[in-house]
Structure 1
Amino acid sequence: MLGDVAIRRDGRAEALGGRLERTLLAVLLARAGRPVATDVLTDALWGDRPDPRSGQRLQLQVHRLRRKLGESDRLTLGPAGYRLRVESGELDAERFESSVERAVGIAARRDPRGAAAALRAALELWRGAPFTGVDLPLLDDWVHRLVERRLVALETLYEAELARGRHTEVVAELIQRVREHPLHERFHALLMTALARAGRQVDALAAYRAARETLVRELGVEPGEELRALERRVLDGESLGPGGTAGPGGRRGDAGRAEVPAQLPLDVRTFVGRGAELAELDGLLASAPAAVAALSGTAGVGKTALAVRWAHRARERFPDGQLYVDLRGYGPDRPVAPQDALAGLLRSLGLEGAALPQGLDERAARFRTLLAGRRILLVLDNAHAVEQVRPLLPGAPACFTLVTSRDTLAGLVARDGAHRVRVDRLPAADARRLLRELLGTRVEAEPEAAEALVHQCVRLPLALRIVAELIRSRPALGLTALTGELAERQGALDLLDIEGDPHTAVRSVFSWSYQRLDPAAARVFRLLGLHPGRDTDAHAVAVLAGLGLRETRRCLDVLLRAHLVDQTGDGRHRRHDLLRDYAAELAESTDPAAERAAALDRLRGHYLYTASAAMDVFAPHDYAHRPKAPPPAGPLLTFAGHEDARRWLDAERANLLEVTRHADPTFVTSLSETVHLYLRVGGYFDEAITLHTRALRAARAVGDEFAEANARRVLGTMMNLWGADPDAVVGHFQRALAVYERAGDRSLQASVLNGLAGVRLRRGELPAAMREFERALELNGAAGNWRVRCALLVNMGRTLRTLGRLDEARHRLESVLELCASHGDKAVEANTHCVLADVHTRLGAEAAAFDHARRGLALARESGYRQIEALCLGKLGTLHRNRGELARALDLHGEALDLARAVAESELMVEAMNTLAGTHAAAGEPARALRLHEEALALAVEVGERVAQAHSHAGIGDMRARLGDHATARAHWRRALAGYEAGSLPLAAELRARLDAQDPPRA
């Protein structure tokens, strides 16, 4: 199949006839061992032109081919068509693929010498592209797959050779590979690495320029991140020795520290058996570089335990990290949507807040991009269906995905090449061994009763663990007596059994355990089935059950000892989904509907009241009205400070969303208005948009147009910060504005106009934004809401500063300080000092600038506003840079960027990156500066921040000019100039003069 289609028999080649014979053999070989319908063969040979004699003509071609094959039973006709029998090892393509797989497995075991030898031997089998001389679309997938396998083999070969230190020896080979595959970026990267390691940095940079020219000319695209990163590292003089590979490693901060995700749950302490399944996974990892494994089996069979145990064993094979997601495929709450799962994965890989793409396809593509060139293990636990998993699959050949599900995920196996590992109930011997591990000598003392227990628990690990805990809790009784009790209960539940469902046995174990609980603990267990979240704290459980905190903790301890709940590392409680189902069934059959509804009402009241109390500490000066909920009956949480409040909000964020799913509309709108600022500051855009959209629907459902306007106001604000379609954002703001106008609420009208001005700023329309600010300020009036007035004046001061109207900016900002003095709003005061620091810096008043920056920083830290803290750190860093104190400036700007990324507000991150880039440039590090400007530009483009785009283009132009790439520098300066001119920024004149000095005069 490789190269020209040919037959070799007894050591000699059989001469094939013309196109028809070669095509017939090629199609049969591509479907080797499987029947091929006669109409498929006739279409391949003669196209879809009707021919009444095509059947006879096909028989003639088959007859001729049989003679060449030399064995009459090689090519047979059956009901489904013609079948060509091919024995194992007879196809050169099959030998090639298996050789490559073995060699890649050797490479994965970190044996570069052995891998290189095996790969070269495998590549010697390659005689050319498959089916050369046969032009048939039917074979395209085969050809593409084999060509891709060869490319993987070549890449792995040169990675192994570089790992052996043979960089000089492979340069010539890599030059040839680049010529053969000029658009394959990986070969360019390997060539650059080999040249740099050989001390040929100039040649490495020349190789980058050649690659860039080819990609731009042929595809119209810039090189990918791997090539750009290599160029930066060569320019920085970084070592590309064996410690630094050609491929991208983990995400790195500016200090060069690798940020490697390590998200695997704790390994199971008592784990027995599963040797065959573990070996199967080991073998799959060794033989399939782009493997997906699906563990499927019934609930409680130990799929997650097996996945976590194997993942911990294999974690050293994935130096770039391990990612874990619980997809919540089964249980009372809905499965995690792929888009939401991707948001969490992207955050784990360093993509934060507003930088997250919005759509599912965009997120999936970004996820695959971030994993390119990395060796990462991805565990997708508890999947519901193929559609939930497929968007999460990496495209990187070195990544491995392990999925667990009760579903067989047949589509994942058929379409995506996943390898299914069936996880059955434990073999009897392993089940007995697990029981011995859990119960010790009691099993040996009563072997027949232990055997009965294994049978009654249908060899499910979950059931065996719960039974073992029950037995340990009743040491006075023997196993025989306890198995008798379980048998009686199981007999009762068998009446509900449908076709031998193994869950009946599990439910009988649950029932037995439940019956041993005291009434208070049993009631807590039932009510936990009503809680909509995955985990919870003791305060929420106390409110749900209407108990005191001490009694609630006692009940939870009882449930924990009985294995009816689990405790997480941070002291929260969660339940297995089977136990949640069982608890919910019990609650429905035992507790009256009115009592269940009252418990959920108490829980929602607790979350609303506590969220409001947390927000009073987290953001005490939010100018929007925050609903006040009455305190619920039961223990109340108090918060010592900003961090304490934030920790509670972080822990309960998912629950706050879940309790709004089927709640009263008023509760939904109240919670939206309560926590909107927390979600905004934290950069939790998915959660915010979900919550505020629910609030919008809830308000519309009951015809509450004022609540609808509030939902649109906060939803529009989040969408604008996220970088959503400006027209959609404006639509929300305008509809909210119309309601506030009818209600006569001038302050809320002004706050919406403030949001509309923000859209103008994002579009780079600064003069138009100023007009919106002026209109809002007039509407709010001197006697209006003072926080709205402060917000407008600060935003106006910031915009006037950007427009170069510094004295006007200073005047506006100083009037804010006067307002703050009488109201004591430290957060607004901190923000104002921060902008004044920048204004005074531009005015050349260094002492005043330092004073404002330091006062702003102190107030920001005191009030807990990290956004303002990051901005103040940036201003102080710039002041130190202006003094020539570059080490101090780098520290401050690095700290500012870390905070900006933690807060995850796009405008803040872009400013921090551009500012840090300026300091690296001042320190004589143009390559580092260029990297940061490019990162800032990418984010600014993604979220539509046009002024920030212009600043980034200007910085890139400056650095390209310093690095000698003047043509690229001028291109970026021109794009910056267009942005500055569109926004009427004074920087346009300076940049225009620079371009005029650089450009040759026109004839």
Structure 2
Amino acid sequence: MAEETYNSMGGRADVAVQAGRIEGLHQHFHGTGTAPPSQPVPFQLPPALAHFENRQDEQEHIERAAESHTDHPGPLVVALTGIGGIGKTEFGFHVARRLSQRYPDGVLYVDLDDLRRDGTVEVADAVGELLTGLDVASDWQERSFAGRSKQYWTRTRDKRLIVVIDNARYGAEAVPLLPASAGSLAIVTSQGPLYDLGGVTAVEVPLSPLALDHAVRLLGHIAEDPRLAAEPGAVTEIVRGCGGLPAALKVAGQWVRKYRRRSLSRLVAELSTELRERGIPMVEAVWDAACAGLGPEAARLYHVVTQCPAPAIAAPAAAALLGGDLRSAEDALEELESAGLLENRPEGYRMHDLLRGHADRRARQADPAGTARAEARRRLIRWYRRQAARADLLAAGPRMTFAETAAAVPGVRAVPDVPDAPAVPDVPDVPDVEFSGKAEALRWMESQRLALYGCVRLAFEAELYEDAWALCEPLWTHFLDHPHYADVTDAFRTGVAAADRLEHLPAMVRMRCQLARPLWEQEQYDEAAEHLRHALGASQSLGDSPQERKLKASVREFLGLLKSAQGDWAGATADFEAARGVHAEIGNAYGVLLQTHLLGRTALSLDEPERAVALLREAHRMAREQERERMTARTGFELGRALRRAGHAAEAQGLVRAALANSRERGSTFDEARILKELASLADELGDSAEAEEHRATARLLTERSGGLSDEDQSS
């Protein structure tokens, strides 16, 4: 049974609660005479680096372009180009900070590589990231790319914003993310020129390696060491070896700081020996030297940190990779940061792509068979699977799942004094994340979504097929609240393939049902129907246990939901009736309730209000008897709608007004706006045009302030 499919047919949350008769309506700040609470100006940049070597010429070029950007139809677009490690991202951040006073409406940031799957970015998800930064909650965001684009244009119109678009590979990826205002600035970073900007004129600012004197100054800022002035020849050799790349100079500076008692000439001589004996570039030798000074745990983490599929890693996930405790993981991360090999950001520790390549090369040298990396990867996948299941249980409560909760991940202990020796068990398990409640569990799922979705792919590639599809189960609840379509579609497709590899029949059925929904929400109806056709066929081979029969009913429910999304109300009715019959036979009272509710809504769409009233009245009664707060809410509001359509507006008022009070209590502006529109229709029915217009005006104001599309925009 898909009891967790609590969103409406369009993907919106339909939540309302009957709270008894309400004699008056109170509009809080939503009344037109009261100003709303001010929203914080977004500033999505990480803290400034302690040391930044100014690229003065490039900065002045951009500032002149900003000053002269008048009488242009679109925003100023600055394209920062250059090879990896040249410092494009940090320079973009620096420019954005420096110019932020010119753009008082905030600074937004999106990293397209975080959203890239098989080389392609789902641009709708990128627009969604920017809308979130503009304080548009997920339930207000449109599901389609076209709808989100309209929201973004509306939200950025007449604004003075900076939008930093990092790691674009093609101009076509960046153009839909440009703000609509001519008074805004877009900073786009790319390794090469962006030729396909679709008519948008960009100021190109190519970044070259730092000049020798600039690189020397940057090294001096990082190292803060008198030896630099005393031995300029050695400094010059180090800087030239780093190729003027800030990413390499940072590691070199930290390495110089670490060995304060050695002369720079000696350090350079040691690097030169490495160059002669191994024939590697000096920058590689610098990184090797930095790694040689690491303690055992930090060195072990450096060899496996690239197994994490997310761009940033926090201490709990690092503990899983190491198979150790949280404190040891924190110490190892801090040591890698001190060595310049990791950078601490608010979202976790990040590694530059150049260093990521070096870490992979070192790992292969230390572990040619890949055993240690495979074990670390397995621990990480199992740990994320376990945490996701625990978070999902808190967030959604018990529901139909088929994977067992993964056991705690066993800890390991490296053999002392033997680098990269096989790990020995018999230490405490890797600690779980401590969730204080539902809200924290939901926040954790969203904060870790890149790792969670990445682990699905990682598990499949490692042939850990059970882990792959089992990880999809808790991601279902997360998807309903956070529709990151590229991630969820990729993950559920992988879940289908993993279940097929194992021939796990319930998972084969369940994964196909869960894949179908994001597909039909993106209007990919044919593919969704194909997956549900296969799910229906496979379900015929299920047994007759209550759980298996419940799954069969769930398939029919998903078929009904797909037909509802396509406007086939008669077909949907047949599927919901079939599902309700199965739930009644196995004594699943909640399944009967849910299908009765869906049948009531379908009857209303078929313009059968009296039948809808009868069904929804029954569903509302069952929800109250079962003490299902969520379903009591939904059925009460839907019953109010049906009563109005059936000509019983007076009876409907209490239900809908109760729903309004509850939406305000929960702070759901999306539900509030929707319910206000229904109250306006009720007021029309009762002949109170003034009240109807007041409700509609408040709904329009809420929609505008929340970043939603108006009815006119949605229909255009």
Find out whether 1:255 has 2:40 as its counterpart. Answer: no
Change (3 A) 1:895 1:264: farther
CA gap of 1:568–1:587, structure 2 versus 1, over 3 A, is same
Residue of structure 2 in register with 1:618 after alignment: 395
Distance 2:456 2:702 in 1: 41
C-alpha separation in 2, matches of 1:845 and 1:359:
34
Q: 1:940 to 1:491 in 2, by over 3 A?
A: farther
- Give the one of 496, 510, 513 matched to 2:287: 510
Task: State, as a whole percentage, how many aligned pairs show the same letter.
Answer: 26
For 2:674, which of 908, 911, 917 is the aligned residue? 911
1:636 correspondence with 2:431: yes
Larger relative contact order (CA 8 Å, sep ≥ 6): 2
Q: How has the CA–CA distance of structure 1 residues 917 and 418 changed in structure 2, closer, same or farther, with 3 Å as cutoff?
A: farther
Distance in 1, Cα, partners of 2:699 & 2:117: 50
Matched, 1:538 2:315: yes
Note closer, same or farther for the CA distance 1:336–1:485 as it changes in structure 2 (3 Å cut): farther
**Residue 222 of structure 2, aligned match among 428, 438, 445:** 438
- Counting only pairs closer than 5 Å after superposition, residues 120-131 of structure 1 correspond to structure 2 as none
Q: Is the 8 A contact 2:141 2:708 kept in 1?
A: no
Match of residue 552 from structure 2 = 749
Q: 1:598 to 1:941 in 2, by over 3 A?
A: farther
Distance 1:332 1:687 in 2: 8
Per the alignment, residue 454 of structure 2 pairs with: 658
Residues 447 and 619 (structure 1 numbering): CA distance in 2 closer, same or farther, change over 3 Å? same
Q: Alpha carbons of 1:343 and 1:456: their partners in 2 closer, same or farther (altered >3 Å)?
A: same
Residues 913 and 515 of structure 1: CA distance in aligned 2, closer, same or farther (over 3 Å): farther
Amino acid at match of 1:792: Q
Q: Matched residues in 2 for 1:566 and 1:481: separation?
A: 28
**Aligned partners of 2:125, 2:277: CA distance in 1, in Å?**
42
1:322 aligns with 2:129: no
1:285 aligned partner, one-letter code: A
Contact 1:322 1:378 in 2 (8 A): yes
Distance 1:629 1:307 in 2: 43
The amino acid across from 1:775 in the alignment is A
Change over 3 Å in CA distance of 1:375–1:610 after alignment to 2: same
Instruction: Tell whether 2:52 aligns with 1:271.
Output: yes
- Answer 1 or 2: which has greater helix percent: 1
Following TM superposition, by how much is the alpha carbon of 1:513 offset from its aligned partner in structure 2, in angstroms? 0.5
Pick from 529, 532, 539 the counterpart of residue 733 of structure 1: 532
Displacement of 1:310? 0.8
Structure 1 residues 690 and 932: alpha-carbon distance in aligned structure 2, compared to 1, 3 A threshold: farther
Would you say 1:928 and 2:691 are equivalent positions? no
Task: State the alpha-carbon separation in 1 of the partners of residues 319 and 595 from structure 2.
Answer: 44
User: Residue 558 of structure 1 aligns with which residue?
Assistant: 335
* Residue identity opposite 1:406 in structure 2: Q
**Residue equivalent to 1:420:** 204
Q: CA deviation at 1:309?
A: 0.9
Q: Which residue of 2 aligns with 1:455?
A: 240
Separation in structure 2 between the aligned mates of residue 527 and residue 293 of structure 1, nearest angstrom: 37
Provide, for residues 57-80 of structure 1, a one-character-per-residue CA deviation record: whole Å limited to 9, x for no partner: xxxxxxxxxxxxxxxxxxxxxxxx
Match of 2:592 among 770, 777, 789: 789
* 1:372 Cα offset (Å): 3.8
CA distance in 2, matches of 1:830, 1:849: 20
- 1:344-493 equivalences under 5 Å are 344-349=129-134, 353=138, 367-368=152-153, 370-394=155-179, 396-410=181-195, 412=197, 416-440=200-224, 442=226, 443-492=228-277
Which residue does 1:862 correspond to in 2?
Answer: none
Give the direction of change, closer, same or farther, for the CA distance of 1:618–1:357 in structure 2 (3 Å limit): closer
Secondary structure of 1:645 counterpart: helix
**More displaced stretch, 518-527 vs 383-392:** 383-392
SS in 2 for 1:268: coil
Structure 1 residues 711 and 369, CA gap change in structure 2 (3 angstroms): same
Question: Pairwise mapping of residues 954-973 of structure 1 onto structure 2 (< 5 A)?
Answer: none
Change (3 A) 1:358 1:816: closer
Asked if residue 876 in structure 1 is aligned to residue 658 in structure 2, the reply is yes
Q: CA deviation at 1:274?
A: 0.8
Q: Which moved more, 1:730-739 or 1:530-539?
A: 730-739
Q: Is 2:349 the counterpart of 1:573?
A: yes
Aligned residues: 637
**Distance in structure 2 (CA, Å) of the matches to 1:319 and 1:816:** 49
Cα separation, 2, equivalents of 1:602 and 1:439: 37
Q: Tell me if 1:811 matches 2:611.
A: no
Shift in Å, 1:381: 1.6
Which runs of 5 or more structure 2 residues have no equivalent in the other structure? 1-30, 412-429, 684-688
Give, in angstroms, the shift of residue 486 of structure 1: 3.1
Q: 1:672 is matched with which residue: 448, 469, 472?
A: 472
Change (3 A) 1:785 1:492: farther
The whole-number CA distance in structure 2 between the counterparts of 1:760 and 1:666 is 31
TM-score, normalised by the number of residues in structure 1: 0.57
> d(CA) in 2 for partners of 1:450 and 1:714?
59
> Deviation of residue 514 (structure 1)?
0.7
Closer/same/farther in 2, CA of residues 476 and 876 from structure 1, 3 Å limit: farther
The AA in structure 1 aligned to 2:218 is L
For residues 757-906 of structure 1, the aligned pairs below 5 Å read: 757-759=560-562, 761-762=564-565, 769-796=572-599, 803-804=609-610, 806=613, 808-818=615-625, 820=626, 828-832=628-632, 835-836=635-636, 839=639, 875-876=657-658, 878=660, 893=663, 898-899=667-668, 901=670
Give the alignment's TM-score, normalised by structure 2. 0.78
Query: Aligned residue for 2:7?
Result: none
Aligned to 2:416: none
Structure-1 separation of matches of 2:185 and 2:193: 19
Decide which moves more: 389-398 or 674-683.
389-398
The structure-2 alpha-carbon separation of the partners of 1:614 and 1:509, relative to structure 1 and needing over 3 Å to count, comes to: same
CA distance in 2, matches of 1:626, 1:921: 55
Distance change in 2, residues 1:781/1:625 (3 Å): farther
Report the CA distance between 1:659 and its aligned residue. Answer: 1.8
For residues 535-571 of structure 1, give each alpha carbon's deviation from its aligned partner in whole angstroms, at most 9, with x where no partner exists: 122222222222333322221121121121122225x
Residue 749 of structure 1 aligns with an amino acid whose one-letter code is K
Query: Structure 1, residues 629-659: CA drift from partner, whole Å, max 9, x if none?
Result: 2332131314231122112211211111112
Q: Which moved more, 1:266-275 or 1:730-739?
A: 730-739
Q: CA deviation at 1:334?
A: 4.8
Contact 2:220 2:253 in 1 (8 A): no
> Between Structure 1 and Structure 2, whose CA radius of gyration is higher?
1
SS in 1 for 2:78: strand
Q: Does 1:603 align with 2:384?
A: no
Other-structure match for 2:494: 694
Q: CA deviation at 1:346?
A: 3.6
Give, in angstroms, the shift of residue 524 of structure 1.
Answer: 0.7
Distance in 2 between residues matched to 1:444 and 1:419, nearest whole Å? 38
- Return 5+ residue gaps in structure 1 as ranges: 1-235, 239-252, 497-503, 822-827, 854-873, 879-888, 902-907, 944-948, 954-1003
| Aligned-partner SS, 2:188 | strand
| Separation (CA, whole Å) in 1 of partners of 2:77 and 2:212 | 29
Residue 686 of structure 1 deviates from its aligned partner by 3.8
Any idea what the Cα deviations from partners look like across 1:452-507, whole Å, max 9, x if unmatched? 433333332222222222232333333333333333334445x24xxxxxxx3432
- 5 Å-filtered alignment, 1:32-47, equals none
Distance in 1 between the 2:118 and 2:46 partners? 21
Classify 1:336/1:488 alpha carbon distance in 2 versus 1 (closer, same or farther; 3 Å). Answer: farther
After superposition, what is the alpha-carbon deviation per residue over 1:139-181, rounded to whole angstroms, capped at 9, x for unaligned? xxxxxxxxxxxxxxxxxxxxxxxxxxxxxxxxxxxxxxxxxxx
